[in-house]
Amino acid sequence: MEQFLLDNADRYRKLVGLFKPAALNKKTDSGTEAASSDITVSARIRPILEEETSQGFPDSVFRRGPSSTVDVHELRQPVRGLPTLNATQSSNFTVDQVFGPDSTTNQIYESLVKPLVPWAWSGGVSTLFAYGQTGSGKTYTVSGLQRHVAGTLMGGAMEAERKVHICIIELAGQTAHDLLNARKQISILEDSLGTTQLAGAVEHHVTDKGALVALIDIAASLRSTASTLMNDTSSRSHAICRIRLEDPSDPEADDGLLYLVDLAGSEAARDRSAHDAARMKEAREINSSLALTKTLKHVFDPAGARALRTVVVACVNPCLADVGASKNTLRYAEMLRAVVPRARPAAFDPAVPATWNNAQLRTWIGRSSGTPPISPTLLAPQETGPQLLRLAVPEFLARCLQTAGVTAEQAQAFQTKFWKLHIDSQKKKQQQLTSNLGLKPNSSTSKPTSAGTRGEEETEGDAAPTRMERLSSSADPEPGADSIPFKQRIRPGMVVGWSRTWTVAGGAVLRAEKHLGVVLCPAAAVGPRVCDVRGKEKERYLCAMVLPGMMSGAYSVSLWRQTVVDVEQMEAEVLMEYDEATRFYYMMV
Ligand SMILES: Nc1ncnc2c1ncn2[C@@H]1O[C@H](COP(=O)(O)OP(=O)(O)OP(=O)(O)O)[C@@H](O)[C@H]1O
């Protein structure tokens, strides 16, 4: 194919010179009508590089005059006659703004990216991300823009004071590393409010432009790179720079967030032939990284509550040899303009603690915390609903106990009540989302099933839970199973409880601990290292430990922490249910 293009390069240039574009549909060329004002999608066509022109490849991507439309030309060999360029083989794409090969990064900053800075400064969430084929100019663009952002942020021209914190992480495949902490591995987690947390990433507080730029440079030099055909120092990972702006005068205010994201390159078809299967698998993993989806979730989440501004730069390599990849990049840019939803600030809802400001939270605490009422001033001096939900449980309880006359039981019951309200509201939100998407709700979001209440909760006309629905809790899916003693029906997935005691000589119990575990399989099934050495009459099962989660009453299953438990040792079957809203397991009552 490349030889065909090189052999016909002169003819191609002549045909492109004669190309007369058809008039565009006014609506799509307006540059704004199809787009949401929250997101601006631009395309940057980089200059063709010396190494590309020296091989003889012409340009294939052109900005159409001063418009926001890009024409892409291809050359095809018809069955008979000379190679042609015609309407079906040339395409046009319309985005919000196009930057041609002569545009500078400074021009892109001034017209597109600069407004993201005051937006984040005043508490919004701003995101810039650049994507495109390997070698299309993403790193060139993002690293230039980062420097301009540092100048505006630290230049002293912004009103009021903000504390500036930065962290820069790298996502490769399903793993994430902290580029400002010796590439230490971190986790990307979603908390119960659906907000993504970069767990384990170190934030650096910076006070001047020099320090900010120095950190950006350290991260850039640490980014994992590998050589590809397209670009010898090609980045093989996504780099995410997050700048958090804290308003010290208003602790109730949400922090402003500014994300600057340099996505991993998508490899062009012409690279693929030269790359082995492992390398291609790695590329697929990088691009479909779950961690990335989580990190950029706020941009695509229609239920997101924060005010967002997003700028996308689709980077395009103009070389004719890469025209297929360039068309994909531009097609995706057009799609993004249409699909990214508008952000809607969450309205106050008395049943949704995540929507409460400090005054609304205090009113609720005063009314709902029992007798004596827990002091709202002591429990939530300045927190909003979401901030109190994030407070560690011991701290929550300690604050409750500062009110005279409040007992530990009252404090615990009130904490549980607050969490239950939050969990119920998240379940409703999930249900709403599921029904908006036309999906069949599953049992954990529709009607909780518990051994004691299964069937009783069903309203008239409800179908009996299917086997799949019954399997969303740890209860035995076989109807009537609970009339059989649990030791006679042990099965994978059953949750069992047991105690372990440590005794000293003389038989005194030094320590007793309660444990929970999910049965995986009979211990003998996993090979000699865990075989039952004590004979058949003592059945033993391999169990994954169930451990307390971050909040009270919540558990998580630690699949890799396994233990062998004798049936004799097991004390009870424990029924647990998974809650999608909080992503934890809870005991069923
Ligand atoms: N607008 C531009 N002007 C001049 N040179 C550019 C421009 N954009 C990119 N380049 C050059 O093109 C080459 C590839 O750019 P860059 O490394 O930014 O690509 P990339 O898309 O980040 O690639 P990868 O996905 O492999 O990381 C570099 O040599 C860079 O200097």
- Asked whether 47 lines ligand 1 (CB < 6 A), one says yes
| Per-residue confidence band for 448, with pLDDT thresholds at 50, 70 and 90 | very low
Over residues 455-466, mean pLDDT = 43
- How much is the mean pLDDT over the chain? 77
Mutation pick for ligand 1 pocket among 53, 231, 235 (CB with most ligand atoms within 8 Å) = 231
Q: To which residue do tokens 């060329």 refer?
A: 29
d(CA 384, CA 145): 34
| Per-residue confidence band for 369, with pLDDT thresholds at 50, 70 and 90 | very high
d(CA 333, CA 312): 8
Q: Is 304 annotated for ligand binding? A: no
- Is residue 70 within 8 A of residue 62, CB to CB? The reply is yes
Mutation pick for ligand 1 pocket among 45, 52, 129, 139 (CB with most ligand atoms within 8 Å) = 139
- Asked whether 136 lines ligand 1 (CB < 6 A), one says yes
Q: Is 55 annotated for ligand binding? A: no
Identify the top-confidence range among 47-56, 247-256, 341-350, 466-475. 47-56
In this predicted model, what pLDDT tens digit does every residue of 284-323 receive, in sequence order? 544 455 557 666 766 665 555 667 888 999 999 999 888 8
Q: Is 134 annotated for ligand binding? A: yes
Q: How does DSSP assign 182-250, residue by residue?
A: TTEEEEEEE-TTS-EEEETPPPEEE-SHHHHHHHHHHHHHHS-B---SS-TT-B-SEEEEEEEEE-TT-
Does residue 517 surpass a pLDDT of 60?
yes
Amino acid 76: pLDDT: 80
Amino acid 258: pLDDT: 94
- Is residue 142 within 8 A of residue 128, CB to CB? The reply is yes
Q: To which residue do tokens 């950006």 refer?
A: 216
CA of 140 to the centre of ligand 1 (A): 5
The token duo for 470 is 């019954």
Q: Is 402 annotated for ligand binding? A: no
Measured from the Cα of 234, ligand 1's closest atom is: 26
CA of 28 to the centre of ligand 1 (A): 29
pTM across the whole model? 0.63
d(CA 333, CA 119): 23
Give CB contacts under 8 A, 24+ apart, made by 492-495. 492/519, 492/520, 492/521, 493/518, 493/519, 494/518, 494/519, 494/573, 495/519, 495/546, 495/573, 495/574, 495/575, 495/576
- Is residue 159 within 8 A of residue 149, CB to CB? The reply is no
d(CA 414, CA 400): 9
Backbone angles phi, psi at 44, to 5 degrees: -115, 120
CA of 488 to the centre of ligand 1 (A): 65
Q: Is 506 annotated for ligand binding? A: no
In this predicted model, what pLDDT tens digit does every residue of 205-249 receive, in sequence order? 999 999 999 999 999 888 755 434 444 444 578 899 999 999 888
- Asked whether 318 lines ligand 1 (CB < 6 A), one says no
The complex's ipTM?
0.98
Q: Is 194 annotated for ligand binding? A: no
Of 378, 368, 417, residue with least CA distance to 401:
378
In this predicted model, what pLDDT tens digit does every residue of 11-49 receive, in sequence order? 888 888 877 776 665 544 444 444 445 789 999 999 999
- Asked whether 177 lines ligand 1 (CB < 6 A), one says no
The token duo for 376 is 């709202």
- Is residue 312 within 8 A of residue 336, CB to CB? The reply is yes
d(CA 349, CA 395): 26
- Is residue 240 within 8 A of residue 168, CB to CB? The reply is yes
- Asked whether 132 lines ligand 1 (CB < 6 A), one says yes
CA of 134 to the centre of ligand 1 (A): 8
Does residue 148 surpass a pLDDT of 50?
yes
| Per-residue confidence band for 531, with pLDDT thresholds at 50, 70 and 90 | very low
Does residue 518 surpass a pLDDT of 90?
yes
Q: How many CB atoms lie within 10 A of CB 67?
A: 16
- Asked whether 134 lines ligand 1 (CB < 6 A), one says yes
Over residues 489-495, mean pLDDT = 91
Amino acid 375: pLDDT: 96
Measured from the Cα of 315, ligand 1's closest atom is: 21
Does residue 580 surpass a pLDDT of 90?
no
Instruction: Provide, rounded to the nearest whole percent, the portion of the chain with pLDDT above 90.
Output: 26
Q: Is 415 annotated for ligand binding? A: no
User: Could you give the count of Cα atoms lying within 13 Å of 80 in the half-sphere of its Cβ?
Assistant: 0
CA of 68 to the centre of ligand 1 (A): 22
Q: Is 139 annotated for ligand binding? A: yes
Q: To which residue do tokens 């601006």 refer?
A: 40
- Asked whether 320 lines ligand 1 (CB < 6 A), one says no
In this predicted model, what pLDDT tens digit does every residue of 160-176 receive, in sequence order? 889 999 999 988 877 88
Amino acid, single-letter form, for residue 415: Q
570-573 and 509-522: which strand pairing? unpaired
Does residue 130 surpass a pLDDT of 70?
yes
d(CA 489, CA 536): 17
- Asked whether 234 lines ligand 1 (CB < 6 A), one says yes
Of 389, 390, 391, 396, residue with least CA distance to 411:
396
Widest distance between CA atoms in the chain: 101
- Helix (H) or strand (E) holding 168, with range, is strand 163-172
